[in-house]
Chain A
Amino acid sequence: MTDVNQKKSHKWEMVIDLDRCTGCEACVVACHAENNIRISGEDEAAQGRAINWIRIERYWEGEYPNVQTRFMPVLCQHCDDAPCEPVCPVYASYHTPEGLNAQVYNRCVGVRYCGNNCPYTARQFNWFDPHWDSPLEEQLNPDVTVRQNGIMEKCTFCVQRIRVGKEQAEKEGRPVRDGDIIPACVQTCPTSALVFGDRHDPESRVSQLARQDRAFHLLESQGTHPAITYLKRIT
């Protein structure tokens, strides 16, 4: 623990303000571009196999004609007590010291228990080898692995960006500043409904927002202790 205090470890978390989300799905597109997420096509999407690391769940509230649409962005919750981790027989799903729920593609053999045990259905599976129509393969992100047939994948909190941010800070001999590291979905959100940061820094925006009265966690009763805090005014 002394080591952690001296080196000032990080705990990456996100806040999603449902009162701000318009359901525009810009985050979904940004995530696809950043993370080399395969293009599934119409048939696979119809089979329910389209891979999205972040999705906008749409729910209807009220009776016609007073119907309201509710949008809820759902991604891997990076649970502190993640149900996907203990069930993996090969440690492909494991917890990093910085609180990320990581997926080690090379270890995964595809038993898919993690997918069943995730209460958020955040985990996605590669049913076939990925394919990009030309010239889309030209825009693959060189910092991110392309996942092959037969393995699980899911949101990484853009771990490649976290790496870059930390390395840059180290190079400049300073601590990581709040806002240095932004995942693609957060960067692109037009209403700033998504906020990302370090919960070990009490002054970071994400820490301040997560302390609000509006804060709740998705399926909190499951005891998974998610790293994503949702904000919603209870009306």
Chain B
Amino acid sequence: MADDRTAWKEMSSINRDLLAPLQSATPAYFLLLIVLGAIVALGAGAWYYQVDTGIGQTNLHPPIFWGVYIASFIFWVGASHSGTFISGVLRLSKAEWRRPVTRIAELMTFISLMIATLFVFFHLGRVWRWYYLMPYPNQRELWPNFRSPLMWDAIAVFTYATSSTIYLYLPLIPDFALLRERIGGWRKPLYRVLSLGWTGTQNQWQVLETALRIITPLIVMVMVSVHSIVGWDFGVSLVPAWHSTIFAPYFVVGAVHSGVGLVAIGLYVLRKIYRLERYIESEHFDKIGKLLVVTTLVLAYLYFAELLTIWYAKSPDHMWVVDALLIGPFAVPFWFMAICIYFIPLATLTNPAFRRWPLGVMLVGVFINIGMYIERVLILVPPLSYPRLPFNWGSYFPSWVEMTIIVGSLALAVLLYALAVKFVPVISIWEEKEGLVHGTRHGT
């Protein structure tokens, strides 16, 4: 009985703690919004300039037709795997420690996918004709080409964006209902619509649980297929060192690697700003750290398998690329990348004491994401730089327009997250309470 009473007291403190970020905003918050908004405006200006004058504002040239826009697209689709992997897999395996993590990760998925989609538009040569890619017949009854991996990609990303939005929204419904009761002002009517008349009846809970049970395994499958298809954009081509069967699994694992790293960053920052130490404990960083060790090892294994087979076969058109990476002009970024995504995580996160140090795990997440971004660029540029006819070899470094757009889109991602934090609770309130009830009723 006494346990139950403390549990009820806890409930109201959960409400208080987790609603606090939505109820007030500091001057620093507004300053952050202004700074981010300014960077986004710069990026938008750079994009306008590029559309107005020509895609030549990038530094792309034959034979390198794809550059950092596509690399960023892969990176952000990869980043979106944070939510689906962490939240989906943990929900499936009923891991109790998922409760304070899922919402943070799902929001990341949702926002990363929006940013990833933007990069398709940044990349197009004639972006004003983007609707030619829409799957409907034109006036000559010609459909888009469904044999093109880029069409598979468009369909996959659209499916993923739709399903991950639903996946973010479903567990938000009870929280929206709570917000409808607790928060007034302009947001109240919005919450009323979004909560879909949720009153918390037994029937509604059952429907919600069933819906979550159905969508969770589906979203995990969609996640695997989406990044496989992004990998096949490269794997099915003829380009030396792209044409490889390992690309699909490699892309999926790489995406999870950077996605989990991103979750570590998000957990740390939100916990710090909103003082969520009671909810996001060092145990969570420990678990995230263990996951990162697994993804590091799997990724390193795949990378090794790929390099070994190419190196042993010594087929010249593939070897040009591998040589350029290991000892050639791309060696510096390559080894920096290897340090960021393999050596640093292995050297630190295998130590149990380190894993319980939130700042440390967060910093490893930062290194992993820097490394994975470089890795995306290295997947694209070196193979394209060494086509089979050596007369056409080239090299590439992004222009200031490309870099401004990339920085602008990163700022947009953070800006959207900062705005989202004021609109939805970053930790699922009802799931946190559910965990509390499970804990007290069944013992942990």
Q: Contact residues of A with B, CB < 8 Å?
A: 44, 47-49, 55, 57-59, 72, 74, 83, 86-91, 107-113, 115-117, 119-121, 123-129, 149-152, 218-219, 222
Nearest Cβ on chain B to A154's Cβ, whole angstroms: 11
Question: Could you tell me the distance in whole angstroms from the C-beta of B201 to the nearest C-beta in chain A?
Answer: 48
Given contacts A115-B63, A117-B238, A219-B388, contact A109 B148 (CB under 8 A): no
The verdict on A57 contacting B389 (CB below 8 Å), with A49-B61, A150-B126 known, is yes
- B290 nearest CB across to chain A (Å): 38
Given contacts A89-B145, A109-B133, 14 further A-B contacts (CB under 8 A): A57-B392, A87-B237, A88-B145, A89-B150, A90-B133, A110-B126, A112-B65, A115-B65, A120-B389, A121-B392, A124-B62, A125-B62, A150-B55, A150-B126
| Residues of chain B contacted by A110 (CB below 8 angstroms) | 55, 124-126
3 nearest A-B residue pairs (beta carbon): A110-B125, A127-B56, A150-B125
Query: What chain A residues lie within 8 Å of B56 (beta carbons)?
Result: 44, 49, 127-128, 149
- Out of B53, B239, B388, name the residue touching A116 (CB < 8 Å): B239
A-B contact pairs, 15 of them (CB 8 A): A44-B56, A49-B62, A57-B392, A91-B142, A91-B145, A109-B133, A110-B55, A113-B66, A113-B150, A113-B233, A125-B60, A129-B54, A149-B54, A149-B55, A151-B125
Q: How far is the CA of A123 from the CA of B65 in the complex (A)?
A: 10
With both beta carbons as reference points, the residue of chain A lying nearest to B150 in the complex is identified as: A89
Closest to B120 in A: A111
Q: Write the nearest CB–CB distance from B246 to chain A, whole angstroms.
A: 19
* Docked-complex contact A109 and B144, CB < 8 angstroms: no
Residue of B nearest to A44 (CB): B56
| Min C-beta distance of B415 to chain A, whole Å | 28
Q: Is A125 touching B391 in the complex (CB atoms < 8 A)?
A: no
Taking Cβ atoms with an 8 Å cutoff, the residues of B that contact A are 53-56, 59-63, 65-66, 123-127, 129-130, 132-133, 142, 144-145, 147-151, 154, 233, 237-239, 384, 387-392, 394
- Of A89, A116, A128, which is within 8 A of B151 by CB? A89
Q: Which residues of chain A have C-beta atoms less than 8 A from B53's C-beta? A: 128
Complex-state Cα separation, A49 to B130, whole angstroms:
24
CA gap between A149 and B63 in the complex, in Å = 18
A107 touches which of B132, B237, B384 (Cβ 8 Å): B132
CB-based contact B61/A47 at 8 Å: yes
Q: Which of A49, A58, A117 is the one whose CB lies under 8 Å from B239?
A: A117
Tell me if B63 and A222 are in contact (CB < 8 A): no
| Contact assessment for B126 and A151 in the assembled complex, using a CB-CB cutoff below 8 Å | yes
- List the B side residues contacting A115 at CB < 8 Å: 62-63, 65
B125 touches A58 (CB 8 A): no
Instruction: Enumerate chain B residues within 8 angstroms of A88, measured Cβ to Cβ.
Output: 145, 148
Are B62 and A48 in contact (CB-based, < 8 A)?
A: yes
B391 touches A59 (CB 8 A): yes
Query: In the bound complex, what is the Cα–Cα distance between A59 and B62 (angstroms)?
Result: 19
Closest CB in chain B relative to A79 CB, distance in Å: 11
A74 to B254, CA, bound (A): 38
Cα(A72)–Cα(B394), bound, Å: 19
Chain B residues near A55 (CB, 8 Å)? Answer: 391
Residues in A whose Cβ lies below 8 Å from that of B147: 86
Contact B238–A90 (Cβ < 8 Å): no
In the complex, chain B residues whose CB is within 8 Å of the CB of A219: 388-389
Set of chain A residues within 8 Å of B59, measured between Cβ atoms:
47
| B142 pairs with A116, CB closer than 8 A | no
Contacts of A107 in B (CB 8 A): 132
Whether B389 pairs with A108 at a CB distance below 8 angstroms is no
In this complex, the member of A83, A125, A151 whose beta carbon has the largest number of chain B beta carbons within 10 angstroms is A125
Distance of A110 Cα from B55 Cα, bound (Å): 9
Question: Which residues from chain A contact B392 at a C-beta distance below 8 Å?
Answer: 57, 121
Residues on B with beta carbons closer than 8 Å to the beta carbon of A128: 53-54, 56
